[in-house]
Structure formats: C-alpha cells, structure tokens
Amino acid sequence: MLLEIAVGDAYGAGFEFCSREIINNSNHANGYISHPLGIKPGCYTDDTQMSLAIAELLLENSNPQESDFAQAFIHTYKRDPRLGYASGFQSLLDSCETGKDLTRKIRPHSKRNGAAMRSVPLGLIPDIDQLLTVAKCQASVTHNTEEGILSAQAVALMAHLLIYQKSALIELPKLIEKKLNLKLIGSWSGKVNCDALETLAAVNTALQSNRDFLGLLKTCIDFGGDTDSVAAIACGLAALTREYDSELPFSLLSGLENSTYGYQYLIELDKKLVNNFLS
C-alpha cells in the first residue's frame, strides 16, 4: 500500500501543475522526471509522508485523537523535511515544534485534498464506524470543512472495502453513495485542481478505467494539475484489490528513492501493517 502510494506520488510529482507539453512528452510511466521546483526524480512528497504518519500512528495507537495526528504530522515532517508541501503549510510546519503548536497556529478551513491524500491507510481499521470517526478526526486537524472531512472518509472507506474484499471496484461508487451520500463521479476529464471533490472524481475515474499500474499512472498524470495526489491515492487503492495486476513498472520500483524513509522503509512498514491488521 505505502510502496504504491510512494510510487504514484513520486511519479506524479514530476508533473504537478506542469505544462501540457511536458505531460505529452514524458508521461510514459517508465521512469521518473524531476519537477522544475526542485523535487528530484523518484522522490515522494507530502502525500506519502503524511500517509506514513497515519500508518505509523495506527500501529501504535488503536484510538488516535486529533492531538495524536497533529503530533504525528509534525514528527514525520521534522525527521525528514522534504519538498512538495503547499508553501503556506510547509512554512507552518517549519514554525512548529510540536503537534500542539500546529493545532494552535493552523486555521483549518481548507476544502482542498490534503486530508484525502493521506487517508488510504485508514482503510485498515476493521470497523467502519470507527474508521469514519478516525478519518474525520485526522481531517479536522488541517481540513475541518465538510469537503475536507467527507473526502477523507470516502478515501478511507474505499480502501477499507477493497482491503477487506467487501466490494468489487465497479461497486465502490454505489457503496460510497449509500454510506456517505456522496456521488463518486466516474467521468472526470481535464485538469485537477487541489479541490477535494475534484480529486475524488479523478481518482475514481482513473481507478475504474484501468486494471494495471502502467495505465493507471498515465491516466492520473494525463488529467494534469495535482497529479501527485491523484496518482498517490489511486495507486494506493489499486494496491488493495486483486482486480489490478499487482506489478508496478520495474523502472519506477527501481528508481524510487532509497533514503532512510524510502523504498526499504516503506516495504518494512507495509509488512508491519499486514501483520498487525490482516493476519
């Protein structure tokens, strides 16, 4: 799960809000490209780092509260500061030492996709009502809005339904609508802004229209806009279903960063999640 999130994130990071020309020339999913703002090829961004924060917290705390999430977000950023965060939020993280600082300073009024992009690991929570409560709780730290919370719950619930084999891909929109009263659009086209609900529409469209990672990545990037968040969520979800061919493109696996919190770390953490929740 985390490995696929990181590959989608790192691949998409090279294309985030880039020109159509760069997408047309380089969206082949056979290697990473650098982003003009300095993100190096194969390096993941905020989407993966915040997903790591949530995954690690779930392993150590079965009933995490807002303050725990705030602390986890600060902890994972401080131990490994990296590019890719929205600049205002990154400045805020830089100015905080603890989760309490973050909670005190932030104005969590965003309707963007920041709470959804880190919510795939929440799908591991076995009980759906608890999952929805925890998804709301973590979203509230930074995105305490109807859209921010709903998008996080939708991603977490989609992940849960796939992990626990309660839904085929094609049935996901029906089940999400039934539980959350949210229509998942399946015909998105065009640029994805950082908006939470646009992101969900793009993720669902890409997920439904492919069955292998190569095609999925190309579709996510071809939309344009916030390509890394769309690809991170979509790849994280695709990793959870047998309907997707489980092979990631080799060049993307081998090119993923192997820093302290890179390839090997992600694999180990994925194993711990499986052992803790699924065996």
Q: Which residues contact Mg ion by CB under 5 A?
A: 45-47, 84, 228
Please say which residue, 198 or 228, places its beta carbon nearer to Mg ion. Answer: 228
Whole-angstrom Cα distance, residue 116 to residue 135? 9
Distance of CA 121 to the CA centre of its chain: 9
- Output 228 or 257, the one with its CB closest to Mg ion: 228
Smallest distance from Mg ion to CB 179, Å: 27
Residue at shortest CB range from Mg ion: 45
How is residue 123 written in tokens? 């799908």
Enter the tokens of residue 120: 């795939």
Asked whether the beta carbons of 215 and 34 are under 8 A apart, the reply is no
Q: Whose Cβ is closer to Mg ion: residue 46's or residue 147's?
A: 46
Nearer to Mg ion, 69 or 89 (CB): 89
Question: Which residues sit opposite 67 in a β-bridge?
Answer: none
- Closest CB 222 distance from Mg ion, rounded Å: 18
3-state helix, strand, coil in the chain (%, to 5): 60, 0, 35
C-beta of 163 vs 217, nearer to Mg ion: 217
Please give the Cα distance from 70 to 90 (Å, whole number): 14
Q: H/E/C letters for each residue in 93-156?
A: HHHCCCHHHHHHHCCCECCECCCCCCCHHHHHCCCHHHHHHHHHHHHHHHECCHHHHHHHHHHH
Shortest gap between Cβ of 36 and Mg ion (angstroms)? 15
Give the shortest CB-194-to-Mg ion separation in angstroms: 9
Shortest CB 279 distance to Mg ion, Å: 31
Looking up tokens 């294309």 gives 15
Nearer Cβ to Mg ion (4/47): 47
CB of 183 to Mg ion, least distance (A): 26
State whether residue 247 is helix, strand or coil. Answer: coil
